[in-house]
Chain A
């Protein structure tokens, strides 16, 4: 067991912090959180700076320790996070890197790293959420293309995305898990209608997709035809395993800010509230250690394991607890949407639902880690 950095890692840290100190003051002001095109421009602009400075690769770096140092230091310095590049950098990219052909890696990875192309995730459907394998969007082979018809929902960032990691049914007669394929769909193809959906936080961060005879080249299929479920498991293991890593550091910073506010407004004198914040301090310290443990376990190139579900489950509740505690510190001010943390409190409500609900994560932990029998279907 070792938590110490090597001299190379410390050198990386030093170079990075120096670079951040130089580049951050010159950054343009952050866009309004509800302005998605503005956010796309801002987030991809940041990704381009990382690319030019040689840091774009960091999420896919062979050295997990370097990845964690990057997340720690960028967050500490207040640098932007992946934002609109979330799907491309943190799960579509790694999936293509792991499962794609050489040609596919050449076509798609570089633009993600440069911030030129943004991805979204078209997995869920109106009738296939938790039961993802029951999805019905059809893809029928026509020459060198699939003709895709169906509907997707809750597609985050769909309006501003160039590509969609899309799950389609390529064999309607096979058992549900056996007839699915994983496609890269260009979002400017004819036949795609994007209808934004408003979230409870007031933003239009996700959308409904209507797909009407959309032609997607067969060459855009990652993995074999009808083997998409296995590829999906790879995607989901990244989504749950590593994609939230940077946010834990952000939560630790927010917690310190909440404590500062609490001392300022006197609520810190309430031992119940003070200890509640103390408990969160222990919690987020442990979650950071859990990340280090999981990342060490996954090793340099391996795909993250089901340990990601343990993390996802605990983290999503901890994050909600954090913003509830923040609201307790603010008192009635927490009802003011212009106060810090009000919007975060609202968006944190999605954490126990998005990327697989807590109930589904518990099923996964119980069945795949503990080996309990499958639930009756």
Chain B
């Protein structure tokens, strides 16, 4: 047992982090918020970097890696707030032509919602009668659909949990940075326990979610994945809320990135194993425990 990142895994994470910093920095993020639509060029760049083909066997033109590596790159996507139907396209690689390369954008309905329907080339699942709604997340256009298959989809749940983890980590880092810099009463607000303890709570939530997500990626066990989704949902939502609090009035503004993380975290929580279902899965596992 050596439950730590290998150096290859760290390299992979760093390379995707660098790619996203270069291709989806602050300016690109705000352009997307302003209604830029899905950036096809970026999508292809992700394809070229192996984001979608990561788990396809090498014979099939993929990278031949596993769920743990996929989780690391999705964590980075969550950290960067990368928009688009990333999970559905990743899961379509190898099944839908062009998905692996980032040429085809694939979306899928779940939990009564489907994201990026108008921008997608391929929809996997039943979406007849889809009605557009005004999405709470400015980075994710949504349609409402009749409730469809919500079962299975454990890999989708895990990758979504990884995005939540990245978002929680980013919210924590943003809050800590602000707490170090913002001066009130003659000292950085991070010197005050009320603020310090909010930040400590954020780190603890994030780190507990991290091991849950990583371990679920290693075991691939559905119950463990459901647990990881629960903890990551909680971490992403609560860390975004605490980050907003630490930012004071500035946290309530449109310009601060904070609300974007909160809104996306809310959205991800509703998709691929929402809380109630994940909790029932845990309870069922407990009922079966020897």
Which residues on A are within 8 Å of B, measured CB to CB? 1-6, 9, 64-65, 68, 255-256, 259, 263, 268, 271, 274-275, 277-279, 281-283, 285-287, 289-290, 292-293, 296-297, 307, 310, 313-314, 359, 361-363, 365-367, 369-376
- The residue among A3, A297, A366 with the most chain B CB atoms within 10 A of its own CB is A366
Min C-beta distance of B247 to chain A, whole Å: 15
Q: Which of A285, A371, A376 meets B227, CB within 8 Å? A: A285
Given A275-B279, A292-B1, A372-B191: A1 touches B203 (CB 8 Å cut-off): no
State A24–B176 Cα separation when bound (angstroms).
51
Q: Tell me which residues across on chain A come within 8 A of B227, comparing CB atoms.
A: 281-282, 285-286
User: How close is A153's CB to chain B, nearest CB, in angstroms?
Assistant: 25
B128 within 8 A of A: no
A282 partner residues in chain B, CB cutoff 8 A: 212, 226-228, 230-231, 278-279, 282
CB distance from B238 to the nearest CB of A (A): 13
- Min distance, Cβ A1 to any Cβ of chain B, angstroms: 5
Contact of B180 among A2, A296, A373 (CB under 8 A): A373
Q: Is B287 an interface residue (CB 8 A)?
A: yes
Q: What are the 3 A-B residue pairs with the smallest beta carbon separation, nearest first?
A: A278-B282, A282-B227, A278-B283
Residue pairs across A and B with Cβ atoms less than 8 A apart, 14 shown, are A1-B217, A2-B3, A64-B1, A255-B286, A268-B287, A282-B212, A285-B227, A290-B207, A292-B215, A361-B200, A365-B204, A367-B196, A371-B180, A375-B196
> With a CB–CB cut-off of 8 A, which chain A residues contact B231?
282-283, 286
Where the two chains meet, the residues of B that have a C-beta atom closer than 8 Å to any C-beta of A are 1-6, 9, 68, 172, 176, 179-180, 187-188, 190-193, 196-197, 199-201, 203-204, 207-209, 211-212, 214-215, 217-219, 224, 226-228, 230-231, 276, 278-287, 289-290
A370 to B180, CA, bound (A): 10
**A1 with B214: CB separation less than 8 A:** yes
Q: What 8 new A-B contacts, CB under 8 Å, besides A274-B279, A278-B285?
A: A263-B287, A271-B280, A278-B280, A282-B212, A292-B215, A362-B200, A363-B197, A366-B197
CB A59 to nearest CB in B, in angstroms, measures: 17
Contacting pair B1 A65 (CB below 8 A): yes
Cβ B280 vs Cβ A275 within 8 A: yes
Of the listed residues B172, B211, B218, the one surrounded by the most CB atoms of chain A closer than 10 A to its CB is B211
**Chain A interface helix/strand/loop/mixed:** helix
Cα A324 to Cα B215 in complex, Å, equals 27
Nearest CB in chain A: distance from B86 CB, A: 21
Q: A259-B289, A268-B287, A370-B176 are in contact. Are A296 and B204 (CB under 8 A)?
A: no
A274 — which chain B residues lie within 8 A by C-beta? 279-280, 283
A373-B3 contact given A292-B215, A314-B208, CB 8 Å threshold: no
Residue of A nearest to B217 (CB): A1
Q: Which residue of B lies closest to A293 (CB)?
A: B211
What residues on A are CB-neighbors of B199 within 8 Å?
Answer: 366, 370, 372
Q: Which of B200, B279, B284 contacts A279 (CB 8 A)?
A: B279
Complex interface: chain A residues within 8 A of B279 (CB): 274-275, 278-279, 282
Contact across chains for B212 and A289 when beta carbons are under 8 A apart: yes
Question: Which of B201, B204, B227, B276 is the most central at the interface, judged by chain A CB atoms within 10 Å of its CB?
Answer: B204
A370 contacts across to B, CB distance below 8 A:
172, 176, 199-200, 203
Q: Are A2 and B1 in contact (CB under 8 A)?
A: yes
In the assembled complex, the CB of A127 is this many whole angstroms from the nearest CB of chain B, namely 21
Residues from chain B with a CB closer than 8 A to the CB of A255 are 286
Whether B276 lies near A275 (C-beta < 8 A) is yes
Known: A2-B3, A5-B1, A275-B279. A366 touches B286 (CB 8 A): no
- Chain B residues with Cβ under 8 A from A297's Cβ? 4
User: Given that A1-B4, A293-B4, A310-B204 are contacting pairs, would A362 and B287 also be in contact in the complex, using a CB cutoff of 8 Å?
Assistant: no
Contacts of B3 in A (CB 8 A): 1-3, 289, 292-293, 296
Interface centre among A3, A282, A375 (most CB of B within 10 A): A282
A282 — nearest CB in chain B belongs to which residue?
B227
Q: Which one of A65, A271, A277 contacts B286 once the chains associate, using CB atoms below 8 Å?
A: A277
Chain B residues with CB under 8 Å of A296's CB are 1-4
Q: Do A290 and B208 touch (CB < 8 A)?
A: yes
Write out the residue numbers on chain B whose beta carbons fall within 8 Å of the beta carbon of A290: 207-208, 211
Asked whether, in the complex, the Cβ of A365 is within 8 Å of the Cβ of B203, the reply is yes
Q: What residues of B have a CB within 8 angstroms of the CB of A373 in the complex?
A: 180, 187-188, 190-191
A residues within 8 A CB of B6? 1
A277 vs B196: C-alpha distance when bound (angstroms):
30
Decide if A9 touches B4 in the complex (CB within 8 Å). no
Residue numbers in A under 8 Å from B192 (CB-CB): 375
A206 to B2, CA, bound (A): 38
Cα distance A359–B194 in the bound complex, in angstroms:
10
Q: A279-B230, A286-B208, A372-B180 are in contact. Are A362 and B197 (CB under 8 A)?
A: yes
Residue in A closest to B172 when the chains form the complex, CB atoms: A370
Contact of A1 among B9, B172, B278 (CB under 8 A): B9
Across-interface contacts of B1 in A (CB, < 8 A): 2-6, 9, 64-65, 68, 292, 296
- Tell me, in angstroms, the Cα distance from A313 to B9 when the chains sit together: 29
Bound CA–CA A163/B4 (angstroms): 38
Q: Contact between A289 and B190 (Cβ–Cβ < 8 Å)? A: no
Distance in angstroms from A249 CB to nearest chain B CB is 13
Chain B residues, Cβ within 8 Å of A363: 193, 196-197, 200
Residues of A within 8 A of B282 (CB): 275, 277-279, 281-282
Question: Chain B residue with minimal CB distance to A287?
Answer: B208
With both chains docked as a complex, state the minimum distance between the C-beta of B185 and any C-beta of chain A, in angstroms. Answer: 10
A372 surroundings in chain B (CB, below 8 A):
176, 179-180, 188, 190-191, 196, 199
For residue B18, give the distance in angstroms from its CB to the closest CB of chain A. 21
Contacts of B193 in A (CB 8 A): 359, 362-363, 375
